[in-house]
Amino acid sequence: MTNPNNATITTVHTAEFTAGDALKIPTLRILRDDGSLYEGAVAPELDKATALKMYDTMVFIRVLDERMLAAQRQGRISFYMQCLGEEATTVGSAAALAEQDMIMAQYREQGALRYRGFTLEQFMNQLFSNEKDLGKGRQMPVHYGSKDIYYMTISSPLGTQIPQASGYAYAQKLRGLANTTICYFGEGAASEGDFHAGLNMAAVHKAPVIFFCRNNGYAISTPASEQFVGDGIACRAVGYGMKALRVDGADILAVYQATKMARDHALKHNEPVLIESIAYRLGAHSSSDDPSGYRSKEEEEKWRQNDPIARFRLWLVEKGWLNEADDKATIEALRTEILDALKVAEKVAKPGIEHLISDVYAEPIPALQQQLDELKAHIRKYPDAYPVTAGRLD
Amino acid sequence: MAKMNMLQAINNALDLAMAKDDGVVCFGEDVGHFGGVFRATSKLQEKYGKARCFNTPLTEQGIAGFANGMAAQGMKPVAEIQFADYIFPAFDQIVNETAKFRYRSGNEFNVGGIVFRSPYGGGIAGGHYHSQSPEAYFAHTPGLKVVIPRDPYQAKGLLLASIACPDPVIFFEPKKLYRASIGEVPEEYYEIELGKAEVTQQGKDITILAWGAQMDIVQKAVEMAEKDGISCEVIDLRSILPWDADTVAASVKKTGRLLINHEAPLTGGFAGEIAATIQKMCFLHLESPIERVCGMDTPYPLALEKEYVADHLKTYEAIKRSVNF
Ligand SMILES: Cc1ncc(C[n+]2csc(CCOP(=O)(O)OP(=O)(O)O)c2C)c(N)n1
Ligand SMILES: [Mg+2]
């Protein structure tokens, strides 16, 4: 017998449920907490330079997060989101990609962005919404994007990038490019309709996209246990007829290995693959959130022991590629460098008034030009009320 | 009476509605144990249990569809959309389903029990995805009611009326005022009639019409104009759909002038609808063109928010323009 899709299906002659939890997807772990490998595990091929770049990127974003969260507390920036506990997830996956593979992220993927080469100045300019920000100071802090490094600008509405990634990857395929698109999203965003639409479109139209779910246990205050029932996100991919992998997201070697495999498969077979990475959002959801209202310190402590950076460091030290001493010096130097860059960026002017109406369309429509002219006349009348632009209207 | 901020007034209204009618159920993203990201549903789960106040998975179309189903069964879902900017995944369920449930079935079925609550509006450094005022999209949809309160007293009475109302209501809450707006609120149950505007200040030279968070803004402009000897009549529209044309027209017939202020962009904003109706109802009484002071026709900015908004100075200038026409 075949189903309407012409796939052969087996038949039974007494009614029997297939259990909702029949499909259990195993989790790949390579690196133990002590930096040694699990029995039977093989470390992916990684040269020293790549391994150290991965490590440096993780350390960089950890220090950046710490520093910028403090800057938010001091009222220097309006908002921030850290990725504490998830550094291996985004850095390990980005490291497994080619430089021209597209990245479509959610907002907590600064690791991937930094790995691609987003500079400290670029981070700062976005966070301070100044005139050097590539996004022209239009989006809240952490909504980064850069065409040069194939990192699609972040959009706040959740899940919207998922079907877009399917379309982007399909276009890469039509253009004959040897590139894939990776699409990051949280386990919370995976509840949006766009998740289901995007996966199905990619599967049906054979788009070489890697769906990368960061399952970090929470969507703001909502625990994963109130987000979905069952084994997790990975098994959903199987429902759409696509391959799935699940990894320990604090194990950078496992994340790297899984993403490499997914990329190879996606490009070789023009098929989407889904990876679910299990880690923990150790920090607050954002600078506006206080997790003490919905989870215990004990729970946080338990996960704190599972530090992805410490684990990778032990492996690097064991290999003789890193010694603990340089590490401390690096972190100190980074703190200074970040603070210096922050002080520069916060003094850079805000975008000029013309950017109120630029980019709404390719060229401002007449009504917008008129509104801008009226606004300028108004500001000339009340310069004190509009200090950001009053002094530079022409 | 008790002093409450707008969040407390909303929380108090929900509490009273849940106590009064066990068909009232509150849900949405983070609404359960945590009490919502703004805490509007704080303690309701504790008081009424997980079955009547709960977290949903992160899906607005799911939330709206679920609400439609519950309401079709006869319950009164009060569903929260975490930010009005995120109501769009639910647009189909609201515009094609909620709004047309009664009509398409010949009144065999209806979802009149629904209230969608959602924080809207700017002034919080939220950029274009945490600042929008989408009331006009919904005002373009027959079958929905759209309500926006300006202060804690109004929020409580209008929300209770929205829950009691036999039609589905979209209740947009000015999040900028959640904690900033504080006032005396009766502790007992009361309703404020939907579809009625309120004249908040009498005057004779010009009618100033606004709603929600813009009420405070226009008030500042009115005070400036009064120093120039201009007497302003101020109206809070309160219900965007259906809207109270009679109250507005009666005022404009008296003053001869109208200024409408809203946060949303000018083009296609609800001020256009009001202006068209009022010029017809009051044509021979108008002394000057109806003024609109609104957001610009761009997405809501971040760094240049101050420049963009329909602030008190732009309103004051428009009042003078209208009076000196
Ligand atoms: C469509 C939409 N609905 C709601 C929100 C508000 N919101 C922002 S982040 C978030 C939680 C996301 O959780 P998850 O996808 O698990 O990502 P994580 O924050 O854990 O990285 C919510 C509800 C939004 N940005 N977009
Ligand atoms: Mg999450």
pLDDT tens column, B10-66: 999 999 999 999 999 999 999 999 999 999 999 999 999 999 999 999 999 999 999
Pocket of ligand 1 contains residue A187 by CB under 6 Å: yes
Q: What is the pLDDT of residue A162?
A: 98
Q: What is the pLDDT of residue A377?
A: 98
Pocket of ligand 1 contains residue A220 by CB under 6 Å: yes
Question: What is the tens place of the pLDDT at every residue in A38-66?
Answer: 999 999 999 999 999 999 999 999 999 99
Strand partners, A248: A278
Distance in Å, alpha carbon of B57 to nearest chain A alpha carbon: 5
Instruction: Sort strands B145-147 and B239-241 into parallel, antiparallel or unpaired.
Output: antiparallel
Crossing angle of the two packed helices B6-20 and B152-164, in degrees rounded to 10? 30
| Residues from chain B contacting residue A134 (CB–CB below 8 Å) | none
Distance in Å, alpha carbon of A349 to nearest chain B alpha carbon: 10
Question: What is the tens place of the pLDDT at every residue in B188-247?
Answer: 999 999 999 999 999 999 999 999 999 999 999 999 999 999 999 999 999 999 999 999
CATH number for B198-323 (one of 3.40.50.920, 3.40.1160.10, 3.40.50.9100, 3.40.50.300): it is: 3.40.50.920
User: Among residues A335, A280, A342, which one has the least CA distance to residue A72?
Assistant: A342
Question: What is the tens place of the pLDDT at every residue in B264-292?
Answer: 999 999 999 999 999 999 999 999 999 99
For chain B, what percent of residues have pLDDT higher than 90? 100
Nearest 5°: the CA angle A218, A223, A228 is 105
B2-185 topology per CATH: Rossmann fold (3.40.50)
Distance from C-alpha of A346 to C-alpha of A74, rounded to nearest angstrom: 13
Question: What separation in Å is there between the alpha carbon of A286 and the centre of ligand 2?
Answer: 12
Share of chain A residues as helix, strand and coil, in percent rounded to the nearest 5: 45, 10, 45
CB B310 within 8 A of CB B262: yes
Q: What is the pLDDT of residue A5?
A: 75
DSSP conformational letter for B95: I
| C-alpha count within 13 angstroms, C-beta hemisphere, residue B10 | 31
Task: List, in order of start, the domains of chain A with CATH numbers.
Answer: 48-345 (3.40.50.970), 353-392 (no CATH)
Determine whether A108 is an active site residue: no
Which active-site residues of B does the annotation give?
60, 130
Structure token digits, residue A311: 């684990």
The pocket of ion ligand 2, defined by CB under 5 A, consists of A 186-188, 216, 219
- Asked whether the predicted pLDDT for residue B122 surpasses 90, the reply is yes
Q: What is the pLDDT of residue A328?
A: 85
Residue B230: CB atoms within 10 A of its CB come to 20
The SS3 call for residue B24 is: strand
Residue B188: CB atoms within 10 A of its CB come to 8
CB A278 within 8 A of CB A89: no
**Closest in A130, A288, A368 to B298, CB measured:** A368
| Residues from chain B contacting residue A130 (CB–CB below 8 Å) | 303
Q: Which of A73, A294, A304, A378 is catalytic?
A: A294
User: Among residues B299, B311, B264, which one has the least CA distance to residue A385?
Assistant: B311
Distance from C-alpha of A345 to C-alpha of A127, rounded to nearest angstrom: 9
Q: Nearest residue CA, atom 11 of ligand 1?
A: A219
Distance from C-alpha of B82 to C-alpha of B301, rounded to nearest angstrom: 20
Whole-structure pTM value: 0.97
Listed as ranges, residues in chain A with pLDDT below 50 are: none
Question: What is the tens place of the pLDDT at every residue in B155-186?
Answer: 999 999 999 999 999 999 999 999 999 999 99
Task: Domain ranges for chain B, please list them.
Answer: 2-185, 198-323
A351 prior amide bond cis, ω within 30: no
ipTM: 0.96
Instruction: Say if B2-185 and B198-323 have the same CATH topology.
Output: yes
